[in-house]
Chain A
Amino acid sequence: MKVRDKARWGKDLVEDLLQRKVDTIVTDGITGRPMPHPVTALLDINNSYFRKLKRLGVIDNAAADCPPEAHDVRGWLMPNVAAQQWLVGKALEGLHNPAVKGADACLVQRVVATCTALMPIVARLEKEHPKTFGSGLREAEVAESMSTAQGPPTRMYYSIDWSEPLPDIELERQERAALSKAWELGSDTVALQTVAMLDGDIITRVSEQYTGDAFATVRQIHKESVNLSLSTWELLAKGVGSIVDALFSRK
């Protein structure tokens, strides 16, 4: 590994350890699966945001203003930059909507932040795998619609070819962590969130609806998570500290 790479990687690692985040989510159902293939994960993220924004009334007529390269023939959002840009645009409009407030406004804000953070990663992947990320037309679909009595399609749709195995996608550790975190959170409301910084500041945010006695268990779970996260952090910091010491200490 080159010295510059090593230093950059070391910096990323230290940055990771500078801030710890603990989120507690109250959800309707839990699945046991870990994050799927990045393409599927991006599909999940984009479409869960889409459904949520629709439910909140931020998106009212998707068919009218969603660009064709952002969705497929069934109306599913594609895992590409076009879809994310459209979502960001809609979410920003939603932030000016007075009807969207409280936890919902936080969620809309999260859509903007996550999509913006994921966009450079998706742009790179789209460039490397144009077919998988919907930058190529699925010819069979177009041919099929052209052969019908209705004549050629008025709109051409982009689609992922699920009949072929998804390609191996290389993600850097931080990219994978960002995608994984976004997929984990999905569009669920974060009930409690704690951010612990290296200088000792610990900030906990509690969603107003989870402050009552009925949610004491949720708060207890969050407290346990924070304790566990901090003890693991201490351990990792010690281990990484020894590694950094062994690698870089010269004085």
Chain B
Amino acid sequence: MVRLRRIRQLAKSAARWLAGHVRGVLRSLGRGVEGLLLFALHPLESIGLLATFPVLAWRARALISEACGPGLIILTPDEAPLLRTAVTGLGDFTTSIVHGPSVTPGVVSNHFTRVRERLNPLQQALEAALRLHALLLATCTLLAALETSDTTASLPFRLVEGFLRGLAASLLWSLAFRIFAWLLARWAFARLREL
């Protein structure tokens, strides 16, 4: 009786663990679809993001290191600055101003454009990762769906088979992406902690 209860408890825990991962895979699949939609709506921007993904990821990493280290400093103008924004930690902003007639709306808008440009790699790297995931997911699904085993089968059968193959491939890809994200997150945690 006790053993049976234990087995039931174990089965429950295993089912919960599995359900958690299935939900994670489905979320990852959802993100892939979101990325595909973005890809369809902005194809040129997406291609550009994918082409520069390694550079963007590197820049985002450097940006976080700088902010968590001595602070990310943006000055306007470079010589004899009138405005200085320092981003310290994970996003405390300190802006210093030399108040006077030289601080015109033009200088201010120029300064914040520069700040946005400096912080841009963060957003772009995330966007690029999302679209890369979507592209690989779509390729994987399409390849699996087109790879039908029986060419003599009826069209409805082939359609259903193609759909099921595609679904299986996309789920497998999402699972692989989740494992990759988990490993990457572990690595990022270890690196960031060293900063």
Contact = CB atoms under 8 A, between A and B. Distances in A.
A215 B174 CA distance: 53
A33 B81 CA distance: 11
B20 interface: yes
Contact of A228 (B78, B81, B93): B93
A15 to B, nearest CB: 10
B37 to A, nearest CB: 17
Interface in A163-177: 173-174, 176-177
Interface stretch (A86-94, A142-150, A178-186): A178-186
A239 interface: yes
A251 B21 CA distance: 8
Contacts of B192: 9, 13, 173
A162 B121 CA distance: 39
Among B73, B87, B97, B108, chain A packs the most CB atoms within 10 A around the CB of B97
A205 interface: no
Interface stretch (B41-49, B149-157, B165-173, B179-187): B179-187
A246 B17 contact: no
B12 interface: no
Contacts of A9: 189, 192-193
Interface in A215-251: 215, 217-218, 220-222, 224-226, 228-229, 232-233, 235-236, 238-239, 242-243, 245-247, 249-251
A24 B97 contact: yes
Contacts of A218: 97, 99
A25 interface: yes
B98 A236 contact: no
Interface stretch (B1-9, B111-119, B135-143): B111-119
Nearest to B74: A32
Contact of A236 (B75, B122, B195): B122
A177 B68 contact: yes
Interface in B90-145: 90-99, 103, 105, 108, 112, 115-116, 119, 122-123, 126
Nearest to A28: B98
B83 interface: yes
A26 interface: yes
A188 to B, nearest CB: 7
Contact of B193 (A5, A24, A232, A246): A5
B71 interface: yes
B95 A23 contact: yes
B96 A247 contact: no
A26 B99 contact: yes
A228 B109 CA distance: 12
A225 B108 contact: no
Contact of B181 (A20, A185, A246): A246
Contact of B99 (A13, A22, A215, A243): A215
Contacts of A34: 70-71, 73, 86
A180 B99 CA distance: 23
Contact of A222 (B75, B90, B95, B186): B95
A203 to B, nearest CB: 15
Contacts of A32: 73, 75, 78, 81, 84
Interface of A: 1, 5-6, 9-10, 13, 16-17, 20-30, 32-35, 173-174, 176-177, 180-181, 184-185, 188, 191, 215, 217-218, 220-222, 224-226, 228-229, 232-233, 235-236, 238-239, 242-243, 245-247, 249-251
Interface of B: 16-17, 19-20, 24, 27, 68-71, 73, 75, 78, 81-99, 103, 105, 108, 112, 115-116, 119, 122-123, 126, 178, 181-182, 184-186, 188-190, 192-193, 195
20 contacts: A5-B193, A24-B95, A24-B96, A30-B84, A173-B68, A176-B70, A215-B99, A217-B105, A221-B83, A224-B112, A225-B93, A232-B122, A235-B126, A236-B91, A239-B126, A243-B185, A243-B188, A246-B181, A250-B20, A251-B20
When A and B form their complex, which 9 residue pairs have the shortest distance between CB atoms, in order from nearest?
Answer: A177-B89, A34-B70, A16-B90, A180-B88, A243-B185, A35-B70, A246-B181, A22-B93, A184-B94
